[in-house]
């Protein structure tokens, strides 16, 4: 068996090579530099370098201009949840709706749309890619998920964010849609809880009153009709254990990077 140390040294070597490939540093010079080696050898720097600099996962998704907007943004999957509680909230303009944030947090939250609208906001024009073979470019406005998570004081052992939705997937009373992401995506600047599409209140067909935008992933990760955000340290105990409705039942990949 390979020792932990040699595995890690190999990883560091790859990391330094990758830095060089990215053109960030001159590979040879830097890998011979003693203080840089020392820097890399601390665990904290290792994970920061690995997660925040090296892996393409930290990249931003492409953003577009207003002239690129699709004439209409189609609806896919659920277009109007078959859920009497949801229907009652919708009939009242979502006045009584609240987003629950709970699980591994020190400060569980219940947030109204007015409260979410009062938080910092981000607007982005991005392309949505569905595995079923269509794409659309839309403008989304919402609160960065990072802001909501920070407000809830996430427990240091938490590792995943689970999104529970209001729509039952197999008729009234059946299990609801759900999805999950890790912290790389949860704290990414383009990951937002959107309440507007193309400058207007989010339509029911597209997930009103609140839906996830996680721009570097395929369409099915973008959970609509959010009702609850749960922080967990493992996906094992969530439903089928694979982290999402499509992952559990239909063999889709949990990491749906584009």
Query: In whole angstroms, how close is the CB of 213 to ligand MTE at the nearest point?
Result: 10
Distance CA 218, CA 185 (A): 13
Near Mo ion by CB under 5 A, which window of 24-32, 105-113, 127-135, 140-148?
A: 127-135
Query: In whole angstroms, how close is the CB of 163 to ligand MTE at the nearest point?
Result: 8
Residues 60 to 79 in contact with Mo ion, rule: CB under 5 A: none
Near Mo ion by CB under 5 A, which window of 105-113, 115-123, 174-182, 217-225?
A: 217-225
Residues 36 to 75 in contact with ligand MTE, rule: CB under 6 A: 74-75
Closer to Mo ion by Cβ: residue 130 or 151:
130
**Which residue's Cβ has the minimum distance to ligand MTE?**
77
Closer to Mo ion by Cβ: residue 221 or 228:
221
Which of 76, 87, 100, 115 binds ligand MTE (CB under 6 A)? It is 76
116 sits near ligand MTE (criterion: CB under 6 A)? no
80 sits near ligand MTE (criterion: CB under 6 A)? no
Which of 165, 192, 214, 231 binds ligand MTE (CB under 6 A)? It is 165
For residue 163, the partner it binds in Mo ion, ligand MTE, none, with Cβ less than 5 to 8 A by kind, is: none
130 sits near Mo ion (criterion: CB under 5 A)? yes
Cβ neighbours, 10 Å, residue 207? 27
Distance CA 84, CA 132 (A): 29
185 sits near ligand MTE (criterion: CB under 6 A)? no
DSSP the chain: ---HHHHHHHHHHHHHHHHHHTTSS-HHHHHH-HHHHHHHHSHHHHHHIIIIIISGGGSPPP---GGG--SS----S-SS---HHHHHHHHTTTTT--EEEEESBSS-EEE-HHHHHTS--EEEEEEEEETTTEEEEEEEEEEEHHHHHHHHTB-TT--EEEEEEEEESSSTTSPEEEEEEEHHHHTSTT-EEEEEETTEEPPGGGTTT-EEE-TTB-GGGS--SEEEEEEES-STTSTTSSSSHHHHHH---S--B-
Closer to Mo ion by Cβ: residue 78 or 141:
78
- Greatest alpha-carbon span in the chain: 66
220 sits near Mo ion (criterion: CB under 5 A)? yes
Q: Which residues bind ligand MTE (CB under 6 A)?
A: 74-78, 130, 165, 167, 177, 206-207, 219-220, 222-225
Site for Mo ion, rule CB under 5 A: 130, 219-220
């Amino acid at each position: 068996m390979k020792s932990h140390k040699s595995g890690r040294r190999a990883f560091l070597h790859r990391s330094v090579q990758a830095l060089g490939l990215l053109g960030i540093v001159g590979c040879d010079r830097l890998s011979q530099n003693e203080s840089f080696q020392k820097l890399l050898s601390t665990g904290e720097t290792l994970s920061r370098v690995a997660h925040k600099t090296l892996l393409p996962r930290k990249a931003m998704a492409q953003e577009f201009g207003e002239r690129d907007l699709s004439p209409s943004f189609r609806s896919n999957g659920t277009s109007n949840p078959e859920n009497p509680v949801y229907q009652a909230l919708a009939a009242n303009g979502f006045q009584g709706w609240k987003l629950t944030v709970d699980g591994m947090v020190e400060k569980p939250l219940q947030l109204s749309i007015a409260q979410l609208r009062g938080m910092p906001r981000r607007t982005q024009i991005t392309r949505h890619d569905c595995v079923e073979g269509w794409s659309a470019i839309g403008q989304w406005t919402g609160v960065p998920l990072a802001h909501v998570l920070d407000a809830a004081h996430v427990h240091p052992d938490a590792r995943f964010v689970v999104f529970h939705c209001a729509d039952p997937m197999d008729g009234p009373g059946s299990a609801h849609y759900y999805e999950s992401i890790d912290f790389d995506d949860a704290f990414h600047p383009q990951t937002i809880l959107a309440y507007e599409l193309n400058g207007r209140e989010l339509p029911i067909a597209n997930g009103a009153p609140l839906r996830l935008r996680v721009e570097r992933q395929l369409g099915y990760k973008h959970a609509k009709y959010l009702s609850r955000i749960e922080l967990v340290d493992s996906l094992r105990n969530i439903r089928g254990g694979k982290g999402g409705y499509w992952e559990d039942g239909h063999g889709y990949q949990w990491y749906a990077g584009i």
